């Protein structure tokens, strides 16, 4: 594995593991802490794609996926204490949902970015992130929290996420996870716009450093 991939792989694995833990903790009524960490994965993928190409981006996605899933599966064996009961740091459902959503969405992100790379500098990262994050949000929340997948881990059914509440507090009655998913994607929309600035700066920095080394 080339040294240029290592920072991306380590960053990706860190984001996946941190997000798998933080997505289980509510921030207010409709968000989880993971909503603010996971979008960084798309920034990492897009930077690798722009600077080193589609092949490098895919390698970082696959390597980050493997490392992140291994760490998350380890997290399923780490028990935490809360309100008189124990629970795993990362539930099996969260690990499966995260891994499935991550791989599918990130590979889609890579493909869309590659097809749009010759346009204005901001179009490829913005379009690929928005589309990829929408698919990622749907896959993750449905696998991790919906009743359809309760059989994956009968001992850790997320009842709290399956209780019916008005969508975002004022819409039709839907499971809480639906509100979490919508709010999560709205945060990703905002962060996708904010990430354009660090994307541009990181790309320019890495391109200049690469030019100096050659």
Residue 132's Cα: distance from chain center in Å? 10
pLDDT tens across the length of the chain (214 residues): 467 778 888 888 888 778 877 877 888 888 888 889 888 999 999 999 999 999 999 999 998 888 777 877 777 777 766 666 676 767 788 888 888 999 999 999 999 999 999 999 999 999 999 999 999 999 999 998 999 999 888 888 888 889 999 999 888 999 999 998 999 999 999 999 999 999 999 999 988 887 776 6
Residue 159 in tokens: 């009842």
Residue 87 belongs to what H/E stretch? Answer: strand 85-88
Distance CA 115, CA 81 (A): 47
Query: Given the structure tokens 């960084």, which residue do they identify?
Result: 40
The pLDDT score that the predictor gives to residue 35 is 86
- At 153, which helix (H) or strand (E)? none
Could you report the per-residue pLDDT of 161-202, keeping only the tens digit for each? 899 999 998 889 999 999 989 999 999 999 999 999 999 999
> Token pair for residue 89?
């740091």
User: What does residue 156 show for φ and ψ, rounded to 5 degrees?
Assistant: -135, 55
Q: Around Cβ 62, how many Cβ atoms within 10 Å? A: 15
Helical segments of the chain, H only:
6-22, 40-52, 54-75, 92-116, 123-145, 159-162, 176-194, 196-213
């Amino acid at each position: 594995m080339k040294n240029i991939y290592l920072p991306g792989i380590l960053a990706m694995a860190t984001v996946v593991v941190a997000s798998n833990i933080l997505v289980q903790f509510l921030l207010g009524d409709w968000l989880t802490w993971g909503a603010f960490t996971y979008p960084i994965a798309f920034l990492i993928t897009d930077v690798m794609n722009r600077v080193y190409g589609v092949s490098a981006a895919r390698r970082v996605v696959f390597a980050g996926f493997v490392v992140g899933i291994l760490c998350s599966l380890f997290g399923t064996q780490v028990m935490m204490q809360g309100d008189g009961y124990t629970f795993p740091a990362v539930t099996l459902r969260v690990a499966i949902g995260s891994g499935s959503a991550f791989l599918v969405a990130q590979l889609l992100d890579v493909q869309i970015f590659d097809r749009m790379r010759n346009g204005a500098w901001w179009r490829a990262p913005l379009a690929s992130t928005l589309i990829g994050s929408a698919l990622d949000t749907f896959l993750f929340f449905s696998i991790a929290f919906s009743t359809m997948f309760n059989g994956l881990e009968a001992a850790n059914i997320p009842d709290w996420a399956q209780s019916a509440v008005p969508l975002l507090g004022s819409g039709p009655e839907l499971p809480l996870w639906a509100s979490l998913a919508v709010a999560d994607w709205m945060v990703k929309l905002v962060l996708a716009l904010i990430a354009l600035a660090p994307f541009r700066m990181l790309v320019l920095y890495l391109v200049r450093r690469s030019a100096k080394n050659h």
